[in-house]
Amino acid sequence: MAEFDVDLFVIGGGSGGVRAARIAAGYGAKVMVAEEYRMGGTCVIRGCVPKKLFVIGSHVHDEIEDAAGFGWSIGQVSFDWATLVANKDKEIARLEGAYTTNVEKSGARIAKTRAVLEDAHTIRLATGEKVTAKYILIATGGAPNHGPIVPGIEHVISSNEAFHLKELPKRIVIQGGGYIALEFAGIFAGFGSDVTVIYRGDNILRGFDEDVRKHVRAEMEKRGITIITGCTVAKIEKHGRDFTTHLSSGSSIASDQVMFAIGRHPNVANLGLETAGVAINPANGGIQVDGWSKTSVDNIYAVGDVTHRTNLTPVAIREGHAFADTVFGKRAVEVDHATIPTAVFSQPEVGTVGLTEEEARAQFSRVDVYKTDFRPIKATMSGRDTRVLMKLVVDGASDRVLGCHIVGDGAAEITQAVAIAVKMKATKADFDATIALHPTASEELVTMRTPTARHVRQAAE
């Protein structure tokens, strides 16, 4: 008789958990996955996939406006929010089915229920069933965080609810200055909403390159989005179907929807972590893990947003795959969390990889900066007032490209390719030796020859 019911029990059916389950099953492990909501997790069900679909839809308004400059005469057009939501729901249901099918095809069993740890090897399902496992992987992701409770917080929606609104808000107030807040600001503005963004810091996109932060804000404000920094929402009052949002600055804003997008917290509550002896990282509130995704308990691992390391879907997938390779494939694989490319699907779009100028100057004694901003070729005919930003951060001593930052159409697509070069430690000379692809915006990356700034840190005497 086997010592355990399964070799691997995965709590969470999102991207990281599913990848780990499939790879482990492929190595011959007996695997079970528990998911209490819907297979696919945050990214597929209520995150990056539906958000990108909404972003694409919101761009159509710009395309219609731009068409006139290219000779197109487009008559009366209309937009129906309910149709967008319904079609999005169909696509998400299809993807959920694909995730489920792929896990089952791998040979793993799925339990559509909540799972809680009873000890280091025992999991109790909400159905009453108990399962013992040699290894346990926690991949429960994260959830929206509303931050400090303010009066009227019950009237606030998060990104979760934004995907299921019955109507498109005519006016919406969004608190937050990161990925999610700015992406939804662009989405709602693109569909015709009056959008106000409230952020406590001095400027949006904290942690990004300063030039990127300034450029994105300027471009968003050109599009009619109001951005108020240096204050927070102090209170929300409801008046019939409308709301009044009171700010810490003393001013107030009327709207018919209020959304908070001020961060996410790891889903660690009520999982039985304390009972099993799994430690929480006091620095970030996520499950504490080592470089191999192992927790404080030898046979329990955790990947993805629940660890609060780098909260990106591809990172969770890479961590889940590496875990399965290491534990079941007998091939030790440690994930390299350095030089991870990322994108913000704001409008304009941001793509970035590597160090910001500020980070590079703190780490390297000589830093060269190559920067350009220009009117994209489309805008020369459409007449749209918009500019693209491209920036390379280079180690002045070794000539290695340390970072690349792009703001504009296709920024994410360009950055994915550039990330390969940055990961390979390509030099500025390698970029310069690459023949430009003309006419494209991205050719600027291989034609910028003269530094716009050079920084030399004097050695301490």
Residues 399, 56: Cα–Cα separation, whole Å: 38
Q: Report angle CA 328, 329, 333 to the nearest 5 degrees.
A: 105
Residues 40, 36: Cα–Cα separation, whole Å: 11
Count CB-CB contacts under 10 A for residue 367.
26
What residues form DSSP beta bridges with 210?
Answer: none
Cβ burial 209-235 (10 Å sphere, 16+ → b, else e): bebbbebbbbbbeebebebbeeebbee
Read off the CATH number of the domain in which 75 is found: 3.50.50.60
Expressed as residue numbers, the domain containing 419 is 348-456
In a domain, residue 335? The reply is no
Same domain, 83 and 101: yes
393 within 8 A of 403, measured Cβ to Cβ: yes
Count CB-CB contacts under 10 A for residue 421.
17
Same domain, 139 and 223: no
Per-residue pLDDT of the chain (461 residues; tens, 9 = 90+): 479 999 999 999 999 999 999 999 999 999 999 999 999 988 989 899 999 999 999 999 999 999 999 999 999 999 999 999 999 999 999 999 999 999 999 999 999 999 999 999 999 999 999 999 999 999 999 998 887 889 999 999 999 999 999 999 999 999 999 999 999 999 999 999 999 999 999 999 999 999 999 999 999 999 999 999 999 999 999 999 999 999 999 999 999 999 999 989 999 999 999 999 999 999 999 999 999 999 999 999 999 999 999 999 999 999 999 999 999 999 999 999 999 999 999 999 999 999 999 999 999 999 999 999 999 999 999 999 999 999 999 999 999 999 999 999 999 999 999 999 999 999 999 999 999 999 999 999 999 999 999 999 875 44
Same domain, 129 and 15: yes
Task: Name the 3-class secondary structure at 423.
Answer: helix
Read off the CATH number of the domain in which 404 is found: 3.30.390.30
Those residues whose C-beta lies under 8 Å from the C-beta of residue 24, and which sit 6 or more positions away, are 7, 8, 31, 108, 324, 327, 328
Token readout for 24 is: 């482990």
Count CB-CB contacts under 10 A for residue 319.
30
What does the radius of gyration of the chain's CA atoms come to, in whole angstroms? Answer: 24
Same domain, 395 and 407: yes
60 within 8 A of 189, measured Cβ to Cβ: no
Nearest CA among 131, 159, 134, 129 for reference residue 144: 159
pLDDT of residue 388: 98
**Domain limit, last residue, from 242, 261, 280:** 261
In a domain, residue 341? The reply is no
In a domain, residue 334? The reply is no
Task: Name the 3-class secondary structure at 26.
Answer: helix
Task: Name the 3-class secondary structure at 122.
Answer: strand
Q: How many CA atoms are closer than 13 Å to the CA of 196, on its beta-carbon side?
A: 22
Place of tokens 């000779």: 71
Place of tokens 């539906």: 50
In a domain, residue 340? The reply is no
Same domain, 205 and 301: no
Same domain, 90 and 24: yes
Token readout for 10 is: 């995965």
pLDDT of residue 461: 45
Q: Is the peptide bond before 439 cis (omega within 30 degrees of 0)?
A: yes
The three-state (H, E, C) secondary structure of 65-92, written as one string? HHHHHHCCCCCCCCCCHHHHHHHHHHHH
Same domain, 31 and 86: yes
Same domain, 52 and 166: no
Q: Report angle CA 345, 221, 175 to the nearest 5 degrees.
A: 65
Token readout for 358 is: 């500020």
Q: Is 337 a residue of the active site? A: no
Same domain, 74 and 19: yes
Same domain, 308 and 353: no
Domain count, the chain: 3
Same domain, 445 and 360: yes
**Domain limit, last residue, from 206, 229, 261:** 261
Residues 243, 252: Cα–Cα separation, whole Å: 10
Residue type, 380: T
Task: Name the 3-class secondary structure at 53.
Answer: helix
What is the 8-class DSSP label of residue 402? E
**Domain limit, last residue, from 223, 239, 261:** 261
Query: Which residue among the candidates 155, 164, 215, 438 is catalytic per the annotation?
Result: 438
pLDDT of residue 459: 57
168 within 8 A of 48, measured Cβ to Cβ: no
Task: Name the 3-class secondary structure at 427.
Answer: strand
Task: Name the 3-class secondary structure at 172.
Answer: strand
Same domain, 202 and 99: no
In a domain, residue 127? The reply is yes
Q: Is the peptide bond before 348 cis (omega within 30 degrees of 0)?
A: yes
Count CB-CB contacts under 10 A for residue 358.
14
